[in-house]
Amino acid sequence: MIISRRTMLQGAASVAVAGSFGARAQAAEYTYKYANNLPVTHPMNLRAKEAADKIKQETGGRVEIQIFPNNQLGSDTDMLSQVRSGGVEFFTLSPLILSTLVPNASLSGIGFAFPNYDAVWRAMDGELGAYVRGQIAKANLVVMDKIWDNGFRQITSSNKPIQTPDDLKGFKIRVPVSPLWTSMFTAFGSAPASINFAEVYTALQTKVVDGQENPLAIISTAKLYEVQKYCSVTNHMWDGFWFLANRRAWERLPEDLRAVVAKHMNAAAVAERADVAKLNASLKDELVSKGMVFNEPEAGPFREALRSAGFYAEWKKKYGDEAWAILEKSVGGSLS
């Protein structure tokens, strides 16, 4: 019997079968990799695993999706190249980081655009989401209809609470690799550093930066509370994850199998939205018990600081009037 690395990875059951009968475990016809940047305990990975199990079952084992969480296959920047080249078949990415390839994908991340989750899902399952998915398709990537939730983002810091926009002046803050993020914190007068999520814990621990911003579900599952003291509930932007596929790999799947994959991944996204909303609403107490100190700044002055720095005007110009109009219509009001 030849024990390949693969048979070993398939676990004790298939090795036992091979051992006793000399038969090889049935390999799936399509074994696809799904890579992402989040800890395995985050609802995105939990729901994706559930979906992968259902897909395997409903396709009679023909489609197997192997999940590589936690930047196991590299940073977001690496994984974006891999999903484009076909090195991985599936990848979830923030619309703002995707904007390094699809400029107008970051529209949904404009500061203080969405007042609440109802407005987010109305827009992302409606015209705004459809517009962005159209842009993504033009870049030759496949994207599932339902965007997954990351959440409303909060600012954490190791040295001081952020209470007013003035507290952000000169603040050394990590931002994800995306022009919109850099522009937003530059508008606040901060000193933003673009760092992939894979390096964030270490960057905070070694004080390369003093702060970062993320939703509570990530501050908790990625244990950022171990290296951050203050959490300021700014809700300064909403962020999600588009579920992307390499086009050639997607088109290799027969149409009926594509439908099964899309159905379960979209349903998982919707289930994950509810999980994350619940977590983000309940995690404050847990993070306080771990030693974090919370404050709840007023949003108005932050929004005003962006406006007076010309942030909205600048991005309206970059996106173009048509795209900006879709955004404003989707959030039900003027943003500039």
Nearest-approach distance from CB 36 to ligand X2X, in angstroms:
8
Residue 71 makes contact with ligand X2X by CB under 6 A: no
Return the number of the residue (209 or 218) whose C-beta is nearest ligand X2X: 218
Nearest-approach distance from CB 38 to ligand X2X, in angstroms:
6
Nearest-approach distance from CB 55 to ligand X2X, in angstroms:
24
Question: Which residue sits closest to ligand X2X, CB atoms considered?
Answer: 197
Among 14, 45, 71, 94, binds ligand X2X (CB under 6 A): 94
Nearest-approach distance from CB 175 to ligand X2X, in angstroms:
8
DSSP string over 108-135: GGSTT--SSHHHHHHHHTSHHHHHHHHH
Dihedral of the alpha carbons of 36, 37, 43, 47, in degrees to the nearest 10: 10
Residues 167-226 that bind ligand X2X (CB under 6 A): 176, 197, 214, 218
Residue 37 makes contact with ligand X2X by CB under 6 A: yes
Long-range CB contacts (within 8 A, 24+) of 161-164: 161/230, 161/232, 161/293, 161/295, 162/211, 162/230, 162/232, 162/234, 162/295, 162/297, 163/232, 163/295, 163/297, 164/297, 164/301
Return the number of the residue (188 or 242) whose C-beta is nearest ligand X2X: 242
Nearest-approach distance from CB 161 to ligand X2X, in angstroms:
20
Q: What proportions of the chain, in percent to the nearest 5, are helix, strand and coil?
A: 50, 15, 30
d(CA 335, CA 77): 30
Nearest-approach distance from CB 219 to ligand X2X, in angstroms:
10
Q: How many residues make up the chain in this entry? A: 336
Return the number of the residue (55 or 195) whose C-beta is nearest ligand X2X: 195
SS3 11: coil
Return the number of the residue (59 or 151) whose C-beta is nearest ligand X2X: 151
Q: Interface mask (CB under 6 A) for ligand X2X, residues 238-257, using x and -?
A: -x------------------
- # residues contacting ligand X2X (CB under 6 A): 9
Among 150, 156, 157, 220, binds ligand X2X (CB under 6 A): 150
Q: What are phi and psi of 263, to 5 degrees?
A: -60, -50
d(CA 161, CA 208): 18
Q: What are phi and psi of 270, to 5 degrees?
A: -65, -40
| HSE-up of residue 149 (Cα within 13 Å, Cβ side) | 27
Nearest-approach distance from CB 113 to ligand X2X, in angstroms:
16
Give kind and range of the element (H or E) at residue 92: strand 90-93
Q: Give contact residues for ligand X2X (rule: CB under 6 A).
A: 37, 94, 97, 150, 176, 197, 214, 218, 239
